[in-house]
Amino acid sequence: MSHTRHNAAPIVGIDLGTTNSLVAVVDGQGVRVLGDEPIMPSVVRFEAVRGCVVVGQQARDEALDYPSATIFSAKRLMGRSAADVAGEASFLPYAVVAGEHNTARVRVPIGEGGGQGEMIVSPQEVSAHILRELGKRASEVLGVEVQRAVVTVPAYFDDAQRQATRDAGRLAGLEVVRIVNEPTAAALAYGIGLGSKKASTIAVYDLGGGTFDISILRVTPATSVGEPAFYQVLATAGDTKLGGDDVDHALVSLFVREIVEQFGLKVRGSEDFEPRTRRALISFAQGVKHRLSDELEAKVLIDLGVGRGEGGRNVYERVVGRDEFEEMVGPWVEPSLRACQAALQDAKIQAKEVDAVVMVGGSTRMPIVQRLVGELFEREPYTAIDPDWVVALGAAIQASILSGDQVEGSVGSSLLLDVIPLSLGVETVGGAVAKLIMRNSSVPARATEMFSTSVDGQVSIKISVYQGEREMARDCRLLGTFELTGIPPMPAGIPQLQVDFLVDANGVLRVSAHERRSGKQAQLQVVPNHGLTQQEVECIERESFAHAQQDMDQHRVVDLIVNARLDLKWIGERLNRHASTLEPEYCKQLEQLLTALGSFVEKAQQDYQSVDANAFYQAKQALDEASVRLQEVSIAHSLRADAENGTGEDS
């Protein structure tokens, strides 16, 4: 007898957006977004009494009355440092300050003008209030308390930003059972919506309020009952600091510049205006942007208050035409198109091979975005599913799959094969990075590599984990560091250190180390203090290509230094020990080869660029080949010693 849990709460899907957020579910009514007004603004107001908050549409509507205490676009602060967001903070009516580990925090005044002090709020806390409100909404509609959710994030969110999202869920009282990349969620919704019966390649162009992603996916539908559909991400690219907010900021800059010129105000920019004025300017900019998606022009009228103008007031008034707007927006769209081209290159396909382009995010409603994306991919973008809804619907479908429910319109379940946006590795001796998991590898992913020590008697090993495409640690981003201690003293090169990397289905990295001879173990869940800056994201791949040959040469020389030093040590020690049993000519040959290799090591340590890597390698090979006889003599001596004394000297 089977038992049906009629009152069991389903796992819901949540799109935690920069501008708006939604919650969706798969139930007897199909795949649907919940709520009479499904789109909830991602806006939170903290009132005078700590813990008393207003979330959503009311907070947005009353933002002009509480500019310093109303927080929006918190997603752009998640998992990032105060320095990362310094450039955009000038447009915000609330204060962004540095918290622990220099992480971005928001300072909220308490009482009129901050007369009762202030409170410092993390972006995770702001997002938690949004998630809690969405969970409450879902519980009310479904009639059962919702406790679990699939939450989406931009594909280019790094480990810190993903962990910050999980933390927000925990603060909201929700178990985040899976983190799914927004483009992948959109592809799930797209697959269910079209009901395609053949394999296809999809480009998901996701441009929201604060972030941009492009993902190239291969979708293979299920062919029979019980078989899963495969959603494999071939490549991803993007920018965690590019979105509709930047268009708002460009319009605000235009308004401020013209206001300053027209009325002779002595201000540097919007940061010199009162918080209420900055909030008003952003609202005017958003209104212009939205109107120009449907109309050819939009009128702006801003009453600046008492002044020298008509009626004793300063009134700024102008008309923004779509042509002028698109000329302003064009340079902002271009980086997204370059990211599309990079993703296509990584996926090893041409734009014309893409079967469909799915548009996701409210910013894709702008005609210039749809036109430029269509020109790049040589096809009209697919917009049948509401771009504001598609991610939440996909998250709900993934939630349904995780709970084992059948999704209406599908043949079987779906298997997600997402990818890692940037390579992961550890620092080795000399400052090089040994990459264990390469970018665009499917997740979950696991990799194992063996390392050893470079110094005699080393009893601890420091393991530094890096993210990036360059060959040297100084050019990559440090994610975390941990230490394996308690290793028994052994000669250099003898310890066997096994390092394991595991990236789970949520994109969270865990690193473990195991010294196999002693059994000592250590591990680290990599949670860096803040995320990638815009410059890091933009430069990381460009620099990896520009410096590829130089980086590879340096990496090769660094590895040669490490291995050559071990050869010099081992061969030198054995030559001193057994020279009396060897021919003088052979000893002289080894000494010359040791000197030659030693000079390469010394020169490379001073300036690696001055060393011919091929000549360095040949010198090492010559010594290795010549030392074979010495190794045979050493082994034979050890065997005799074992037979006579029960111990060997060259173990």
Active centre residues (catalytic): 15, 75, 182, 206
Instruction: Retrieve residue 138's tokens.
Output: 């879902």
Do the Cβ atoms of 105 and 529 come closer than 8 Å? no
CA distances (Å), 380 to each of 355, 374, 376, in order? 11, 5, 10
The packing angle between helices 322-347 and 244-263, to 10°, is: 150
Do the Cβ atoms of 239 and 156 come closer than 8 Å? yes
Instruction: Retrieve residue 63's tokens.
Output: 């933002």
Instruction: Work out the number of other CB atoms within 10 angstroms of the CB of residue 507.
Output: 24
State CA 5 to chain mean position distance: 38
User: Among residues 435, 522, 524, 438, which one has the least CA distance to residue 481?
Assistant: 524
Cα gap 196→198, rounded to integer Å: 6
Q: What are phi and psi of 288, to 5 degrees?
A: -60, -45
Do the Cβ atoms of 528 and 480 come closer than 8 Å? yes
Do the Cβ atoms of 13 and 38 come closer than 8 Å? no
Residues sharing a CB contact under 8 Å with residue 51, sequence separation 6 or more, in sequence order: none
What is the maximal distance between C-alpha atoms in the chain?
Answer: 112
User: Among residues 419, 416, 385, 412, which one has the least CA distance to residue 24?
Assistant: 385
CA-atom Rg of the chain in angstroms: 30
Tokens 């990818």 -> residue: 419
Cα gap 107→98, rounded to integer Å: 10
Torsional class of 305: left (φ above 0), alpha (ψ -120 to 50), beta (otherwise): left
Cα gap 45→53, rounded to integer Å: 5
Instruction: Work out the number of other CB atoms within 10 angstroms of the CB of residue 107.
Output: 15
Instruction: Work out the number of other CB atoms within 10 angstroms of the CB of residue 481.
Output: 14
User: Among residues 226, 229, 205, which one has the least CA distance to residue 218?
Assistant: 229
User: Among residues 147, 142, 196, which one has the least CA distance to residue 169?
Assistant: 147
Instruction: Retrieve residue 257's tokens.
Output: 């510049």
Residues sharing a CB contact under 8 Å with residue 638, sequence separation 6 or more, in sequence order: 648, 649, 650, 651
Do the Cβ atoms of 417 and 22 come closer than 8 Å? no
State CA 144 to chain mean position distance: 34
Helices and strands of the chain, counted as H and E runs: 15, 28
What is the DSSP secondary-structure string of 181-203?
EHHHHHHHHHHHHH---S-EEEE
Cα gap 632→635, rounded to integer Å: 5
